[in-house]
Structure 1
Amino acid sequence: MSTSFTHTTTDGRTYTGRSNGVEPVAGTPLVVAIHGGTYSSEYFDIPGYSLLDRGEAAGVPVIALDRPNYVGSSPLESDDSIILANAAVLDNAIGEIWDQHGGEASGVVLVGHSIGGAIATAIAASRPAWPLAGLATSGCLVRVPAESAGAWAALPPIPMIDLPVAMKDQLMFGPADTLNDDMPAASYPSNTLVPKAELLDITGGWIARRAEICGRVTVPVFHRQGEFDHLWVTSPQEVDEYRDGFTSAASTDIALLPGSGHCIDFHRVSAEFEDAELSFAKSTASTVSASNASTPVA
């Protein structure tokens, strides 16, 4: 069972989120989960599909943060890339959380979904001062369908978009036989508004920057792409190209996952997928990159 929290950084930014309450111990990483667009941190805590619950069962501490502009977290604007701006402020927040709550944990493993995966990758590429041990992402790839960028640009000229549920279900989920009977309805408590700037950035600026940013990641990388992901051009060849971008990573485990749409966590393969993420996280316990700090920042 998760516990909600509010964390205020020394620069005055506030973050809401949830924790599974597992005490960080030696030999176990601290997992920090970063949600995608149109979802809150509750994405990682839907009953029956909860990464936090699976982490608790595996003895792995998991913290899911609400990103800037979501729920009770402070707003954030950028004249350039909102994804890179998210990465910068979250880098600082995670560093403070590590200092205060990292305990005996071996390091931090970032888990990021969709836009959250792009943000987590950008954080990893910056080689943060706190001990980053690994990067696990899903729902982000190389290029989007030709119509996607135009569709997002055509949305109303307002800062926050409330994506219609019917449209969202079509985009985020695979065929009916990839879902349990309670989905997609069970996921609705995690639905929320999305900054339009994020939708424009992920389909434009991020794609232009992706290869360069991925090439600066040095920690082990785990990535799964749902077979029926409608938000990205998805094929084995696209997955291979994405993998090839991580030219400096210590290792890569990047593959297409059958039987899932964009939100892998909400499909029948959820348990298998989340267990694989946690297994990857635990495998990084002794492989904190030498390019990162080996001890918490004082």
Structure 2
Amino acid sequence: MMSQTALLNGRKFSFRANRAFSTRSDIPMIVALHGGAHSSAYFDIKGFSLLERAAALGILAIALDRPGYGDSEFRDEAELSHSANAAILDAAIGQILAKLGQRNRGVVLIGHSIGGAIALMIAGGKPAWPLLGVAVSGVGLRPHDEDIEAWQALPPDLFIDLPVALRNIKMFGEGGTYSEEGQRSIALASVPAPRQELIDIVMSWPSAAPDILTRIDAPIHYRQGEADALWTVNDQEIRRFAQACKSAAMIDACLLKNSGHAIDFHDLGPEFQLEQLAFALKCAT
């Protein structure tokens, strides 16, 4: 799908939307939030597109560029933080639902990596619009010590263009779980990332996450790749995440074998995306 722009809550946003059509009244609208160093194209690359899979099921899905990505507006550096992103996107999603989702029962948020953390922050803030559920991946509770040190040592630029070799290591991890096509395709969505959000994900998120997760009362779908190179990932960490979601109507948390950080672009991508879409339909019905 081609990138489009819209004015939402007085701000310019770029986004991608599928062309789904359904006559049912129990269909959710999906809003997908990309991770750091990737634009909304992450969810809409041929052969790996969540938006296309959603369209095949009659589900309206919109991938938003977060502030500072694509043509989505940010007014100062402070708006590139996680908390500011969550507030800005909360207001924008309410308008999207009012304009495009009148026939939809409500919203299911899908977030990857930093976009997952921000989706959980939105959910924990109890949005005024109907939130049916939240599905996240690639966001944990305990980053690797070396990544904390590396992110702290980033140059003081507003945006950071991460080297391709580093992107590939962090997004894919061990070989044998993805194709060369997957690694080439994700590069089509790769862009510089705001430095502030890279700092936030290792410095602010781990301490804030338990309280945020406790406040979420919507159903939660959580997946982490076993070979995730950005987070400490094991069965104990998955349980710790699930146990923090004390108020959630339902928590489905699972460790995925044979996958790294960017699950959508691994061999398990189609199965993973269909799980997320099945969760969205379940939340709506």
> With structure 1 as the length reference, what TM-score do the two structures score?
0.93
- 2:111 maps to a residue whose letter is G
Instruction: Decide which of 15, 18, 21 is 1:17's aligned counterpart.
Output: 15
Counterpart of 2:116?
117
Deviations 1:255-290 (A, max 9, x none): 10111100000000000000000000000113xxxx
Q: Is the 8 A contact 1:3 1:21 kept in 2?
A: no
Counterpart of 2:101?
102
Counterpart of 1:145?
144
Could you tell me how far 1:79 is from its partner in structure 2?
4.7
Counterpart of 1:237?
236
Unaligned runs of 5+ in 2: none
Could you tell me how far 1:177 is from its partner in structure 2?
0.9
Aligned equivalents of 1:76, 1:121: Cα separation in 2: 23
Q: Secondary structure at the match of 1:203?
A: helix
Aligned equivalents of 1:178, 1:76: Cα separation in 2: 40
Is residue 44 of structure 1 aligned with residue 43 of structure 2?
A: yes
Q: Secondary structure at the match of 1:106?
A: coil
Could you tell me how far 1:80 is from its partner in structure 2?
9.1
- 1:158 maps to a residue whose letter is D
Q: Secondary structure at the match of 1:110?
A: strand
Counterpart of 2:27?
28
Is residue 261 of structure 1 aligned with residue 260 of structure 2?
A: yes
- 1:133 maps to a residue whose letter is L
Tell me how many residue pairs correspond in the alignment. 284
Q: 1:103 to 1:79 in 2, by over 3 A?
A: closer
- 1:54 maps to a residue whose letter is R
Is residue 278 of structure 1 aligned with residue 277 of structure 2?
A: yes
Counterpart of 2:202?
203
Counterpart of 2:155?
156
Deviations 1:230-272 (A, max 9, x none): 1001111111101111010000001101111000000000000
Could you tell me how far 1:183 is from its partner in structure 2?
2.6
Q: Is the 8 A contact 1:41 1:66 kept in 2?
A: yes
Aligned equivalents of 1:138, 1:183: Cα separation in 2: 17
Q: Secondary structure at the match of 1:167?
A: helix
Q: Secondary structure at the match of 1:64?
A: strand
> With structure 2 as the length reference, what TM-score do the two structures score?
0.97
Aligned equivalents of 1:180, 1:230: Cα separation in 2: 17
Q: Secondary structure at the match of 1:256?
A: strand
- 2:200 maps to a residue whose letter is D
Counterpart of 2:86?
87
Aligned-CA RMSD value: 1.3
Counterpart of 2:6?
7
Q: 1:244 to 1:78 in 2, by over 3 A?
A: farther
- 2:270 maps to a residue whose letter is A
Q: Is the 8 A contact 2:67 2:79 kept in 1?
A: no
Aligned equivalents of 1:117, 1:34: Cα separation in 2: 7
Aligned equivalents of 2:102, 2:31: Cα separation in 1: 14
Aligned equivalents of 2:54, 2:100: Cα separation in 1: 16
- 1:224 maps to a residue whose letter is R
Unaligned runs of 5+ in 1: 287-298
Is residue 222 of structure 1 aligned with residue 256 of structure 2?
A: no
Counterpart of 1:291?
none
Q: Secondary structure at the match of 2:136?
A: strand
Could you tell me how far 1:5 is from its partner in structure 2?
1.7
Is residue 178 of structure 1 aligned with residue 153 of structure 2?
A: no
- 1:173 maps to a residue whose letter is F
Aligned equivalents of 2:176, 2:194: Cα separation in 1: 32
Q: Is the 8 A contact 1:138 1:224 kept in 2?
A: yes
Misfit runs of 4+, over 2 Å: 76-81
Q: Secondary structure at the match of 1:250?
A: coil
Q: Secondary structure at the match of 2:182?
A: coil
Deviations 1:54-99 (A, max 9, x none): 1111111110000000010002545598111100000000000000
Q: Is the 8 A contact 1:142 1:207 kept in 2?
A: yes
Could you tell me how far 1:174 is from its partner in structure 2?
3.0
Aligned equivalents of 1:86, 1:281: Cα separation in 2: 23
